[in-house]
Amino acid sequence: MKYTAVIFDLDGVICSTDNYHYLAWKVLAEEEGIYFDREINHRLRGVSRMESLEIILERASRAYAGEEKAAMAERKNLIYNVLLEQMTPADLPGEVANVLHTLKQSDVKIAIGSSSKNARTILQRIGLDHAFDEISDGTNISHSKPNPEVFLKAAKMLGEQPEDCLVVEDAKAGIAAAVAGGFDSAGIGEAAEEEGVTYPLGAFRDLLGIVLG
């Protein structure tokens, strides 16, 4: 076995919640008359809620006070949570479910390493609330990716060293966080092209060959 544990990012790796993030931010942006599109939304992957808002406000025509920003982030989260109510176990891809099951059967520890404060809600909606050994998410970190804190905390919770864990990511910020923390990484989609990625993943199931060797 090449790795004793695998730390999975959530949004864009286990399930696809990026469209809900887009739709919720779009409501806010339109209310404020700020230009926002899917390309800008792409830059929000793996980045915290407040940092996402700062990226959106780059296009604003006026400055926003701290309390206004906090209220906007809270409102976005309320809209996002309403959208999340549509999610069901059908939103968990079968290939992902199979890989998680095989890793568990092979005694590989699995954890979540997500910037989201809604990670537990999402996992519950897709039927994975008891699937992971540990969950490190936006509720237990002070620094968002590309800071490695979320992955270092996940490794610590698992009782593993970074070099024994593989991080699976879809975002530039996530691969940078893995590199900064001393983790090998597997990159999905565009993250497969990122500098520093250890394994570009063609298909999710390729993880099994990498981890179980």
**Contact residues for ligand B16, defined by CB under 6 A:** 9-12, 21, 44-49, 52, 77, 114-118, 138, 171
Q: Which is nearer to Mg ion, 137 or 170 (CB)?
A: 170
Q: Please choose which of Mg ion, ligand B16, none residue 52 contacts, taking the beta carbon within 5 to 8 angstroms, the exact cut-off set by kind.
A: ligand B16
How far is it, in rounded angstroms, from Cα 92 to Cα 95? Answer: 9
Decide if 37 is catalytic. no
Q: Do 194 and 172 touch, CB atoms closer than 8 A?
A: yes
How far is it, in rounded angstroms, from Cα 80 to Cα 106? Answer: 36
Which residues 6+ apart lie within 8 Å of 66 measured at CB? none
Contact stretch for Mg ion (CB under 5 A) within 28-36, 123-131, 162-170, 175-183: 162-170
Q: Which is nearer to ligand B16, 54 or 209 (CB)?
A: 54
SS3 for 169? strand
The one among 12, 113, 148, 162 contacting Mg ion by CB under 5 A? 12
Q: Which is nearer to ligand B16, 11 or 134 (CB)?
A: 11
Check residue 194 for interaction with Mg ion (CB under 5 A): no
How far is it, in rounded angstroms, from Cα 194 to Cα 173? Answer: 10
Six token digits for residue 41: 């939304």
- Of all residues in the shown chain, the one whose CB is closest to Mg ion is 12
118: enclosing H helix or E strand: none
Decide if 133 is catalytic. no
CB of 49 to ligand B16, least distance (A): 4
Q: Please choose which of ligand B16, Mg ion, none residue 115 contacts, taking the beta carbon within 5 to 8 angstroms, the exact cut-off set by kind.
A: ligand B16
Question: Cis link prior to 89 (omega < 30° from 0)?
Answer: no
Q: Do 131 and 123 touch, CB atoms closer than 8 A?
A: yes
Identity (one letter) of the amino acid at 127?
G
Q: Please choose which of Mg ion, ligand B16, none residue 138 contacts, taking the beta carbon within 5 to 8 angstroms, the exact cut-off set by kind.
A: ligand B16
Q: Which is nearer to ligand B16, 19 or 106 (CB)?
A: 19
CA 87 from centroid of its chain's CA atoms: 16
Residues noted as catalytic = 9, 11
Interface ranges with Mg ion (CB under 5 A): 9, 11-12, 46, 170-171
